[in-house]
Amino acid sequence: MTIVVKINPNPQFCKIPLSQPFYACLGGSLELKWRYFNLNLWVQNITNASYDVFYFVSMSRHFLQPAKPVRFGLQLTFEY
């Protein structure tokens, strides 16, 4: 199954219709608490989906912002 979203902001500047296939962005986090410490492990875009975030035309120039790839990290906090 393919879902296509067509974007055509202004046919005057954009001669070809824009479209991209359906994508899913998955993310998650795991939080561990121990006494005064919190450890948060997180991940974004687990599927490493490749898609365009936005597109626009300004002064006859085309601008396209691609999505960020898979990202992960950790956060350690201390609460007293």
Q: Which pLDDT score is estimated for 26? A: 84
Residue pair 26/42 in contact (Cβ under 8 Å)? The answer is no
Phi, psi torsion values for 78, nearest 5 degrees: -125, 120
55: closest CA among 4, 10, 3?
10
Domain edges within the chain? 4-78
Neighbouring C-beta atoms of residue 7, cutoff 10 Å: 13
Query: Six-digit token pair at 79?
Result: 């609460």
What's the average model confidence in pLDDT over 35-51? 88
Which amino acid makes up residue 25?
C
**Tell me: the pLDDT tens digits for 2-42?**
444 455 454 444 454 567 777 778 888 999 999 999 999 99
